[in-house]
Chain A
């Protein structure tokens, strides 16, 4: 075969009669197609030969051309009509024919007609050496070039005998046969071919457009159908959609079954009908939609109501549907998890029951242990205090050891009970206004004996001018003693344990306390577990351990009950520092108990000042503390608050009570205070008087901010009173 077997003559000598015909792209679907990336599957669907066959076959029959479809690379997808025997002849003779243009005499040189047509977006006519002519018509979908239709015309003139022979030789057919065939075929003029090309182009594009529309429609229908099947098939979940105002716009079978409304019944209704009355009053439906709008999606659990007013525990997912930044509505999935919740409740009840039993047992054990412990304690201290006569130094020392052990046993019994309280959520703290400096001094003196045994020095490092904390003194003592005892336990003889307090840099609302030791330190992995229950880190420095290993666990629980956190920093061989935080005292927080919106709105918050004066001379601090206790008994916890004195100095002879009561209720409180104080001190010459009251009236709506304002007003009034600059009016 020679390379000249195919001679392309005038690749583009076809002069278009008009501008190339393209898809008019008038429908919305097709307009979008300009930007759509057509997948290989869609491409194959668009140029599916079977679909094209009828139109192309008809066309071929009408205009007596052979028609084939190619892809954009010129690959023949198939012939639709081969009416002309010459093509049949040539075709039958050729091998490996499917990859080449059926209308080119040679097969191994790619036909450029299709490429040219696609490049120019116009109809291209090609003559080959044998005098055979064909026309390539591009198929365009928007900007996409899908392929081409090639129409082949045998002769536009009677073939040259030399050429005939050459073709016959090339394909191994009889030249005579070819001639006979050529004579039988009437030559078609170029003009006819050109018109045929134009027609084919228009026809092809129209069909392509129609076919594309049909394919898209089919796919859409298929997708919708699948989605509908999916949505309808879900029986366990209610799936529905709503418009942006919360009105139901679609409702699946699961929703009908689960929520008890038929589709016709619910469409257009607001979805709040599935909420409880209480939730509707609290505007829960709106709040949830707003949350979904903000976050895109919101999940929650709660009671929901079926059409028949039965309630079930639902897990609800709300997804906000958005399109180009515009809220289009919501998709909701509701799942009935009542059973799961029941199981969880039963499990929780069982756990609680077990914890209660455990608490009862340990409470009993603790009670039973305390009785003999008390006897040992009494006899030991009686002997030590010399009630039964003098002791020898040895006896005194040994009894002191016995007493130390009794104290240790006592604190272990206390720990046991605390542990069960953690389990039953009964471990409570009773916070009060508390200065740390004195408390730390007290604690250190308590621990002194223990430290002295190991020759360990105790230090306190309290930053000056720290605010008070809001904490339970007994519990803070307990935490500090736990930490200090630990420090003493792990520090080598001659070491130091230091208790320090500092402002807490990370949160101004807290103070940070620390207990550091010069002990063996804690390794990284052990630092993670020291606060766990029953953990006791083995130390190489000291083999024997005392205690239950509950101290740090209880400390952690106690710190967290105060709202603080506890952690440890340590390095092996360089000692450890245990830190914990406690909330700083805040008048606003304290008053918040009474300064509630309902109280303030009703205008019924009163500030009462009780002045205590000795008729002659000063009042002793001890007595002021006793009076404080009496006043505490007068107030109703949660409704009234006894303010701590506002200065860090000695106790002041004025007490303030913020009471949630109006002028009438005030009389009741006042008489109660007077009565209690009379009971307290009829013999002494003390004179506690209610010096003044102020009704803290403030009209209007109350939020956090306003409550803060009233709290700061209380503060100002109290400060002013204490400074003696003005009497409360």
Chain B
């Protein structure tokens, strides 16, 4: 099985560092972007299997990135998990409506966050197949 590729879009360098270390340890290939514009460029070039997206970003917020991705054929179907410090009361529904598959408020619980990543990558479905065999 080829390594799944995850793009983390966040302007906090420490978060990028800490989260990539964790995801790399779980066997994923991680690429990073720190602003809305380079996020799209990187995403188009790399075509990740999953995007972890912050909402407050330089040069356009996360919602703009989400919209832009949905317009691009290569990226329209890529699952996006939003990871933001913003209040879920105001942003969760909006993010899900815009096409995100999950919303996590910072800091996320590592275990739950990883489950969501696995699920978004279609890895949990394999369990049912596993169960069958």
Contacts and interface: CB of A to CB of B under 8 A. Distances in A.
Interface stretch (B37-45, B67-75, B121-129): B121-129
Contacts of B86: 367
Given A426-B89, A683-B122, A614 B128 contact: yes
Interface in A360-385: 363, 366-368, 370-375, 377-379, 381-382, 385
Contacts of B107: 370, 373-374, 377-378, 406, 410
A696 to B, nearest CB: 29
A137 B119 CA distance: 115
Interface in B86-120: 86-87, 89, 96, 105-108, 110, 119
Interface residues of A, number: 39
A382 B18 contact: yes
B59 interface: no
Contact of B125 (A367, A616, A681): A681
B12 A620 contact: no
A684 B129 contact: yes
Nearest to A379: B18
Interface in A397-441: 406, 410, 417, 421, 426, 428
A387 interface: yes
Give the most central of B106, B122, B125: most A CB within 10 Å. Answer: B106
Interface residues of B, number: 28
B18 A375 contact: yes
A619 interface: yes
A683 B126 CA distance: 8
A382 B24 CA distance: 11
Contact of B89 (A410, A421, A618, A686): A421
A385 B114 CA distance: 14
A371 B15 contact: yes
B128 A378 contact: no
Nearest to A637: B93
A381 B110 contact: yes
A684 B131 CA distance: 11
A626 B124 contact: yes
Contacts of A426: 89
Contact of B132 (A372, A616, A626): A616
A623 B105 contact: no
B124 A622 contact: yes
A622 B132 contact: no
A684 B125 contact: yes
Contacts of A368: 85
A621 to B, nearest CB: 11
Interface string B8-38: 0000101100110110010000000000000
A372 B12 CA distance: 9
Nearest to A370: B85
A9 to B, nearest CB: 109
Contacts of B18: 374-375, 378-379, 382
Given A374-B106, A377-B107, A686 B128 contact: yes
A377 B113 CA distance: 13
B89 A375 contact: no
Contact of A382 (B22, B85, B108): B22
A374 B22 contact: no
A268 to B, nearest CB: 57
With most chain A CB atoms within 10 A of its CB, the pick from B96, B110, B128 is: B128
Nearest to A381: B110
Chain A facing B: main interface SS: helix
A685 interface: yes
Contacts of B110: 381, 385
Contact of B15 (A375, A388, A686): A375
B22 A371 contact: no
A366 B15 CA distance: 17
A617 interface: yes
A382 B14 CA distance: 13
Interface string A599-633: 00000000000000010111110110010000001
Contacts of A410: 107
A616 B133 CA distance: 10
Contact of B119 (A381, A385, A617, A626): A626
B1 to A, nearest CB: 14
Contacts of A388: 21
Contacts of A428: 89
A111 B22 CA distance: 122
A623 B22 contact: no
Given A382-B21, A421-B89, A620-B131, A370 B15 contact: no
Contact of A371 (B12, B108, B129): B12
Contacts of B108: 374
Contacts of B124: 622-623, 626
A393 B129 CA distance: 40
Contacts of A379: 14, 18
Nearest to B128: A684
Nearest to B11: A371
Contacts of A681: 125
Nearest to B132: A617
B85 A371 contact: yes
A684 B132 CA distance: 10
A620 B18 CA distance: 33
- What 10 pairs between A and B have smallest CB-CB spacing? A378-B18, A375-B14, A370-B85, A374-B107, A377-B107, A374-B106, A387-B25, A367-B85, A370-B106, A684-B128
Interface of A: 363, 366-368, 370-375, 377-379, 381-382, 385, 387-388, 406, 410, 417, 421, 426, 428, 614, 616-620, 622-623, 626, 633, 681, 683-686
Given A374-B15, A378-B14, A410-B107, 5 more contacts: A382-B22, A387-B21, A417-B87, A619-B128, A683-B129
6 contacts: A368-B85, A373-B106, A374-B108, A378-B107, A626-B124, A685-B129
